[in-house]
A and B are shown apart, each in its own frame.
Chain A
Amino acid sequence: MEEKQRVNINVNGGEYSVEAGQNVLEACRGIGVEIPYFCYHPSLKVAGSCRMCLVSIGMPARDRATGALLKNEDGTAQIAWAPKLSIACGTKVAEGMHIVTDSDAVKSCRQSVLEFLLLNHPLDCPICDKAGECKLQEYTHAYGRENSRYVERKNVKPKHVDVMGKIMLDSERCIECSRCIRFCEEFIGRSIFGFVKRGSRTEIAVYPGGDNDSNYLLNVVDGCPVGALTEKAFRFKMRPWFLKVTDGICAESSAGVNTRVWSRNGEIYRVTPRRNDEVNGMFMSDSGRYVHLRFNDANRLRQPRIDSTSCDLGYAVSRCMEILKLGKVAIVANGWQTLEEMFVLGELSKACGAEVYMVSHLGEDDGKLVSADRTPNMRGAFVTGLLKDYPPADLSLLAQKIDSGEIATVLCLRENLMGLGLTPGHFKAAHIIYCGSLENPTSASAKICIPLRSEFEKEGMWINRQWRVQKFSKAVDAPDGIADDSRFLLSLLGEYTSSSWSDTSVRSIREAMVSRITMLSGCADVGPNGVLIDSSSFAGIEFPEGKAYHFKGQE
């Protein structure tokens, strides 16, 4: 990788060397000097409309005639300060630039900007869903006046405006930063929001008519620095300061969008994107935000069952082991399993000589953050050796083998066999063990049902379409009576091999996996950005994902 060019700047009297080409705001953030901002967004174009990031900037003075640098009497460089403050987001760093972010002028300027922004702000923080994560609130606290001098009545603007059934727009709270406008234009690719009226009456409005919906519309809610745009599904549900944030990976598709899962007392309230400039930037799809609703209470598999009768988990597992020894076993794996579970499953299939089947789940590739492969970890199956070729969309091969009597037992993980080519006749011909989180036709007629955790209730790693290994952590606890996936698989494995796993934690499985699969040797401790692995050995395989955001497609 080529060495980026660097420039020397002076911030508040300290000398720093920073990467050239970035703006003053990012450069200062890089060296730990915070400059407040509203309208600037790292992934969007600079608008410079909020004026919150004003700082004093000066360049070394030069002699007009000769162009030589001027010196002070004591030999230091003479600085020509700009007569007025400049916006840090719209100014690129340059060699010798001097920046002051803590002078009285800057402070009073910030205070005045905030005072103007608050003139017509309704200050209904107790009602506003943004309170607690609101930039205006935070900056007012840090930089604002402690009282208001405004005695006139505040402007009245449209409140309670429903945007495409997803968003609630409250124009009174808007500070006209135009982030939503820019996001729609730049990321979605068409104009959805716009300013109407002028001056202090300016308000955000949705273009009338036309196609204003998009699967990425909710990103404007994350981007909105105030509570003008709030998510309807999260409206008045919970204050953000109660929510526990865990790092997750979106299970919607193989894009591997980094997410934050916000939960309280075992309930997931919302999922928002987590910044990863290599994968998803700061965005995610709307549909991905609601993946957790798959595991809502109604259709959750909660109790182990044998022949449709509820039973104890330990008994169900011991019956599983007996049934698995009745004859040749087929394992149906899935692309939602973590890398660690796939590794244990691979060991299990080797130990009991089982064939492994998988099914592809394809959908439309939107070229952004929802890829064609709707499983988050299909590549993990290749890495752990479960798969050699990209799997077909159904299990007709397995159905044939059951018909021919070759397969006696099927250990099915999550996949709904009934919809994938197996008929009720196959359920009678072979012993079907269904392990999954949800009730479906397969669970209804399987011989044994073992309830497993959802991807929000366990930790592990997935490999996304870029062959990037990414880690996610457990957001909520599983309901009572639900088996720990990896522990369940390890107990099955323990029946066939002498190797004892005294430590059944995901961490210990990961250590074993990393030591045995050379391709994953760098993945023992994956950081927040994930680790790209060498995929050259799978070059021949045809993957369905197309070119997309931060993804060049298959080369």
Chain B
Amino acid sequence: MEAVSTAAIEGSAGAGAFLDALLAVLFSLLAVVVVMTFAGLSVVAERKVCAFIQGRYGPNRTAIPVVAAIPFFGNFLKKNGLMQLVADGLKFLLKEDPLPGHVNKFWYMVAPAMALSPVLIVACVIPFGVYWIDGQIYPMSVADIDISLLFALAVSALGVYGAIMAGWSSNSKFPYIGAMRASAEVISYEIAMALSVLPVVLWVGLSSQTPLSLFSIAQAQGNLWFCITQPVSALIFLVALFAETNRLPFDVAESETDLVSGYHTEYGSFKFGLFFVGEYGHIVVGSSLFITLFLGAWSPFPGLSWPESWGWISAVLSLLTFLLKIAAMLFFFIWVRWTLPRFRYDQVMSLGWKRLVPLALLNFAAYIIFMAI
């Protein structure tokens, strides 16, 4: 980051353009690497955490021959199931890729990509940290756009198209029902989610010109995190997030008990792997949103933030803080999954429409009144 900032100080106009391009590439890489790495790690974490909660060890046997021979480090990877991640990934890549005879081939092939790509797109607007150039503060994001919050909400909801395409093109009953459920769930909870964010935007709007920018929202929590000032909004957003990402207790779209495997029943091998990574990527991005909106983004504690005077150290610390928070959120997601049983489909719907939407409306109204005063 220091190289970047010194270059920016000395740079001419041409050098500035080059620097912008370099930063763009760097941040794109950051977005992809953060999302994909966390998605991968969360697969391992899922298995490990679930095992620990159930009194087991989880994956601790898989070993890549040469790597496992490295003292300490090899054993560390083996015991923590990290090599299992490699093995799983290799399996997804190398096993036969079946194409059922009864599917609509084009949409069947497109669906997995459709499930994963919105995740990566949304990752572009998330400010993973901050850095300073000439005393000016910038977000560590690929694109710092004014309406990044709207963009994130809109695009991440597109992920459900993957499920719908998969369910429809699979031409089989369980995937179809799964897809219907997924779309119904997204529609229901998107409303509650958007309504729960509105008070935040209002709050930010009091002080900022761009209240729909995630960066502004993050900055607005310099003193107090929104989860403290707006606990009800945070709760509604969190519940809706669980539903949006199709996680337990809301994973009716792929509930094994009644739908075999839901919308990706007919998928195998790498295409299934894309759905799998897409699902975890969705969680990572969703967590990032939640962190940005309610958990103070890169601020380590409520009321604290990394001081500008530390220069690039603060920049790195802000990034690490953000990543740590993502990790904590992932743990929370997994923890909830292995604690709560799955809701019935009708329970999911009634919770969404009859509880969360009215509550979000009330909450919104209350904050309008509060802020008007």
Q: Do chains A and B touch in the complex (CB under 8 A)?
A: no
User: Which residues of B line the A interface, CB within 8 A?
Assistant: none
User: Which residues of A line the B interface, CB within 8 A?
Assistant: none
